[in-house]
Structure 1
């Protein structure tokens, strides 16, 4: 081993053809790419189901098959996707994560059918020790067809469970091409997915060295080093509470939770059970004959006897198994830190890590894809299939959609894009796009909603928000949208009579104006007659004809009122309409406060911010109006009718109405029927209705929320609820959360990464797709969204100083980064 040899003379792989790897010893291997569920996304029942699925699938494999599951974890740095055509906040949000370190994960599952006449390998008899290898005859055509039939059954069992996704690797993915490395090359030279092919020296004389990387191997190969108890899952204490136990896979500590470059190799050897039982019977008799000389022999004899008893009595499948973690680093100084990490990870499983030295080369050699048949049998241990499958890695990184709203992977913070609307609708995961957002005070609702609104706006959505509290002013000013608010000096102003360039006086517009005028005229609960309805409808039609004939007139309530007093009053008298059928004098008297000189003459006569139909970002801040009986009712009617107009007229465009904390006041103003109507019909117009609240007691008691909003919101976004833990049962029943959802929700923000400022969100789509994600923002995004008064004032100060919101936020964000770096 001290002298350099040509790798090709002893390389154990003969050829790759027909989607299979053929070894020099005549073994055949087929390989699959396996996609797992995301880390922290499964519940205890799903882990148990996955465990049973693996057992069922492996039992379908023939004798002399080796299952080799190779989970590969590479430390990488994120490369941000920043381009000049992105908006200011999108660009800053992407750039914030440039260079972020994270672990990438990929998994290859290999099934090797060993040649029947193959001699068992051991540490002293391995292909690595030979000077050259003569190819042996592989399986015949019929045996290969039979093996592939069993492999097909194995694949179907795993795929049908819905917990795993398998795709068989083709020849180029196995052997590689000139421009891309295959799985064989990836393993031999420690290349990550997508890395270009490169040749490296492999040294085995003083440990394992691949190129510049120093490799260490840690094994679980002795029954004495294994945990005393195993299971399909374990409690993850960092996310568990007194009322919930958070589950992760039994082997999670050797997967994504182990923060270093590593490969987790899992070997299950399907032996002839009868032959294995005979060997163990012979071993038991040998130990019995030696038991008089040593108590250890007596203990070992009893252990073997118990194993045989369980195999026969309970019908368990005895197999041989081996698990190892292979790590590497270029920095020698990091070797001790890696040893500590692996030892700690195995100790968390109640196992003892053994660092392989003398036999490391043979184990590494057997790990070459397609060479599992050359694994040293002396480095395996006897166990049952049920126990061995507990050591299989069950999780992967969170999957990112091609487009969507940017959140962060819970473990590493890696950006993950979630399509909450289109893809779930197409797949049938949800039947509507509506959202319900809830969380306690300070949980980060406004930051999350600002972030979603901004993303949807950048994607072309028309966003209308009704707010109490001023949470969206910063974003609205940055985007140049319409911001409506009320104060004595600058009262809220609308002009529902104005028709924009893309609008016409159609039935929808007329109905909107009729609804508004009738609501202003009649008190809540007071009915109107058919003749009154017809008269107002006719007045509106004649008014717009009057505007066409008098082009100098500006459409607004004042000119409409003038028309009623001057032109329409005469028409009514000439038409001899009786007062009992339509009392126009009463109408004029009731509506007079909205006419020039009246108490509310500002409300319906705006001359700016007129084109609400085509404006894509509008915020109505109603904090100062919520207690005003007349104005609040009028304003809410205008808002609702405006959104219905958007909903019906903007064909093909997405519309969103977000009601943040204002829903209580709106419901009290007689608009509960509108909320019900909106949630039931907005789906048909490519729309989204979103309701945001922090009042959990109102949430539980409100019939509007319970019967309409929650039932018709297939997407629920919930934030930190731990302060409501003691009354969570009522909340869980109201929201229709499963026990798994409850466990995940109570883990939100429980163990956030130190030194990083973010809040977590729990997203439930259709009760089927559940996940917890980070809402981690760049300083620019945070400053645009913040609701802290001191921060908002500072942002406005910098915006005024530097000439715009964007420039002010840019300078302030730079100062914050410099302060953090000190």
Structure 2
């Protein structure tokens, strides 16, 4: 039994306080939250207990290394996604990001990455191909998506395109262009019509018309017929900003799919010991509509990525975005890790009516209470791995917070100072110095005895 005088002293110093049973139980040290991983990104639980997340950790109940993140503006999802990307780079891995909104521009500059504007992207479906028997079907799929992003081509169209690729390759090889596919089909149209039917011959007119805008003389020809593709195999960290292409949805879908193929090739041709991650931020709603070919490609790629130590990450504005296209739904269904950040209240209420069993009662309530990252100075999120879920916060140091922030004032200040020629490290210290809270933390860290 506790001595009465000791009990009185503890009361005076605040060591003992009255509380409701619910709070007492939750604060007892005998209750332990899920620690998740032994190392990785520090994400304290809602009881302020230590937890780490590493999407490549195989001790968790995950079937793959893929992740899906949703959150409205101001939820802190850009900070969280940047942190995941940096954790891969810290392990010597490679990261490729396709973004709409410049959320990764500062991190790319600071970490020595390659930043590519969408307008300057150049591709060639036939570049870097060494064995056409292995690559032909992937090139066929790519040309099918170029011709019809919504997946309106049938098996006959696909067979004709595949024949044009395999028959033209021996003559042109890596110098081959989309023009050569069109040229072959036009030359063979009469023979195909005689051998089969005028109906099948008519399919060639459809293919050549649809692919025409991607030929060297077409409106999008400059993007897909380059002798020097922009994306190189030696890029460790590359960010592709596609915001300039938002109004050209067919072109954007084609470019996103082409980049996905490039990323898949990178995963398959680099050592399996190396971590590889591909992140698409805000682009899924514009990719593919109802195309079953893109859906099948994503499902296959997401399932096989783990064998090559690869991870696909998806970032959207709301969890409802997973239902905007077959591509987005395939990405969601094939991701073991789900990060659910603060949601738009109206959209989240609609989602609850549409899918009432997506979360349990406590999870619905807690997600609604997530504060804006700017106000709370941390990102709040529900992490679901397989059948297990837990609530966490991401609290960054002032410099990382400034580097990863996509807030309007932070982005504007960084861009202004970069144009003036300032170093990114100096800019981050300036941003911290302009915030009283961050300034105090920096001062405390500098005074800390090591």
Common fold, TM-score beyond 0.5? yes
Task: Work out the CA distance in 1 between the residues paired with 2:328 and 2:421.
Answer: 47
The partner residue of 2:279 within 635, 646, 658 is 658
Task: Work out the CA distance in 1 between the residues paired with 2:135 and 2:27.
Answer: 65
1:218 matches 2:37: no
Task: Work out the CA distance in 2 between the residues paired with 1:541 and 1:397.
Answer: 61
Question: Structure 2 vs 1, CA of residues 801 and 505 (structure 1 numbering), >3 Å: closer, same or farther?
Answer: farther
1:348 matches 2:19: yes
Question: Structure 2 vs 1, CA of residues 339 and 726 (structure 1 numbering), >3 Å: closer, same or farther?
Answer: farther
Task: Work out the CA distance in 1 between the residues paired with 2:430 and 2:295.
Answer: 44
Structure 1 residues without counterparts, runs of 5 or longer: 1-67, 69-121, 124-206, 208-215, 220-325, 328-337, 351-388, 548-554
1:89-147 per-position Cα deviation (integer Å, ceiling 9, x unaligned)? xxxxxxxxxxxxxxxxxxxxxxxxxxxxxxxxx99xxxxxxxxxxxxxxxxxxxxxxxx
How far apart are 1:505 and its partner, in Å?
A: 3.8
The partner residue of 1:628 within 244, 248, 258 is 248
1:799 matches 2:428: no
Task: Work out the CA distance in 2 between the residues paired with 1:665 and 1:594.
Answer: 19
1:18-46 per-position Cα deviation (integer Å, ceiling 9, x unaligned)? xxxxxxxxxxxxxxxxxxxxxxxxxxxxx
1:460 matches 2:86: no
1:713 matches 2:332: no
1:514·1:537 contact (CA, 8 Å) conserved in 2? no
The equivalent residue for 2:198 is none
Task: Work out the CA distance in 2 between the residues paired with 1:798 and 1:391.
Answer: 46
1:715-752 per-position Cα deviation (integer Å, ceiling 9, x unaligned)? 221112483575574476353x33454455445349x9
1:667-712 per-position Cα deviation (integer Å, ceiling 9, x unaligned)? 416233433334444334333233222334445x558489644443
TM-score normalised to structure 1 length = 0.44
How far apart are 1:764 and its partner, in Å?
A: 1.9
For residues 664-683 of structure 1, the aligned pairs below 5 Å read 664-668=285-289, 670=291, 671-683=294-306
For residues 216-365 of structure 1, the aligned pairs below 5 Å read 217-218=6-7, 339-343=12-16, 345=17, 347-349=18-20
How far apart are 1:584 and its partner, in Å?
A: 8.6
Question: Structure 2 vs 1, CA of residues 763 and 522 (structure 1 numbering), >3 Å: closer, same or farther?
Answer: closer
The equivalent residue for 2:401 is 782
The equivalent residue for 1:578 is 191
1:715·1:766 contact (CA, 8 Å) conserved in 2? yes
The equivalent residue for 1:89 is none
Secondary structure of the 2:410 match is helix
Question: Structure 2 vs 1, CA of residues 533 and 577 (structure 1 numbering), >3 Å: closer, same or farther?
Answer: farther
Task: Work out the CA distance in 1 between the residues paired with 2:258 and 2:304.
Answer: 19
The equivalent residue for 1:516 is 142
How far apart are 1:638 and its partner, in Å?
A: 0.9
Q: How many residues align?
A: 424
2:214·2:224 contact (CA, 8 Å) conserved in 1? yes
Question: Structure 2 vs 1, CA of residues 532 and 640 (structure 1 numbering), >3 Å: closer, same or farther?
Answer: same
How far apart are 1:415 and its partner, in Å?
A: 6.7
Task: Work out the CA distance in 1 between the residues paired with 2:19 and 2:418.
Answer: 52
TM-score normalised to structure 2 length = 0.75
For residues 104-115 of structure 1, the aligned pairs below 5 Å read none
Question: Structure 2 vs 1, CA of residues 539 and 706 (structure 1 numbering), >3 Å: closer, same or farther?
Answer: closer
How far apart are 1:517 and its partner, in Å?
A: 3.3
The equivalent residue for 2:447 is none
The equivalent residue for 1:526 is 153
2:402·2:410 contact (CA, 8 Å) conserved in 1? yes
The equivalent residue for 2:311 is 688
Secondary structure of the 2:101 match is coil
Question: Structure 2 vs 1, CA of residues 482 and 406 (structure 1 numbering), >3 Å: closer, same or farther?
Answer: same
For residues 80-91 of structure 1, the aligned pairs below 5 Å read none
Task: Work out the CA distance in 1 between the residues paired with 2:336 and 2:90.
Answer: 23
Give the structure with the larger helix fraction: 2
The equivalent residue for 2:63 is 431
The partner residue of 1:493 within 109, 115, 122 is 122
Give the structure with the larger strand fraction: 1
Question: Structure 2 vs 1, CA of residues 416 and 793 (structure 1 numbering), >3 Å: closer, same or farther?
Answer: same
How far apart are 1:448 and its partner, in Å?
A: 1.2
Question: Structure 2 vs 1, CA of residues 730 and 466 (structure 1 numbering), >3 Å: closer, same or farther?
Answer: farther
1:455-505 per-position Cα deviation (integer Å, ceiling 9, x unaligned)? 22222333233333332222233334344444xxx4543344332xxx744
The partner residue of 1:723 within 345, 352, 355 is 345
Secondary structure of the 2:138 match is helix
1:556·1:606 contact (CA, 8 Å) conserved in 2? no
The equivalent residue for 1:395 is 31
Question: Structure 2 vs 1, CA of residues 675 and 588 (structure 1 numbering), >3 Å: closer, same or farther?
Answer: closer
The equivalent residue for 2:360 is 738
How far apart are 1:600 and its partner, in Å?
A: 2.2
Question: Structure 2 vs 1, CA of residues 461 and 584 (structure 1 numbering), >3 Å: closer, same or farther?
Answer: same
Question: Structure 2 vs 1, CA of residues 745 and 556 (structure 1 numbering), >3 Å: closer, same or farther?
Answer: same
Task: Work out the CA distance in 2 between the residues paired with 1:612 and 1:733.
Answer: 45
Task: Work out the CA distance in 1 between the residues paired with 2:321 and 2:131.
Answer: 40
1:485·1:621 contact (CA, 8 Å) conserved in 2? yes
Question: Structure 2 vs 1, CA of residues 411 and 608 (structure 1 numbering), >3 Å: closer, same or farther?
Answer: farther
Secondary structure of the 2:396 match is coil
Task: Work out the CA distance in 1 between the residues paired with 2:167 and 2:176.
Answer: 17
Task: Work out the CA distance in 1 between the residues paired with 2:101 and 2:410.
Answer: 15
Question: Structure 2 vs 1, CA of residues 683 and 734 (structure 1 numbering), >3 Å: closer, same or farther?
Answer: farther
How far apart are 1:795 and its partner, in Å?
A: 0.9
Task: Work out the CA distance in 1 between the residues paired with 2:235 and 2:439.
Answer: 38
How far apart are 1:587 and its partner, in Å?
A: 6.9
CA RMSD of aligned residues (A): 4.4
Task: Work out the CA distance in 1 between the residues paired with 2:375 and 2:74.
Answer: 18
1:341-366 per-position Cα deviation (integer Å, ceiling 9, x unaligned)? 234x2x2258xxxxxxxxxxxxxxxx
The equivalent residue for 1:772 is 391
The equivalent residue for 2:53 is 418
Question: Structure 2 vs 1, CA of residues 628 and 816 (structure 1 numbering), >3 Å: closer, same or farther?
Answer: same
1:615-653 per-position Cα deviation (integer Å, ceiling 9, x unaligned)? 233334333434425412321331232222223323413
Task: Work out the CA distance in 1 between the residues paired with 2:72 and 2:425.
Answer: 30
The partner residue of 2:220 within 600, 608, 611 is 600
1:613·1:645 contact (CA, 8 Å) conserved in 2? no
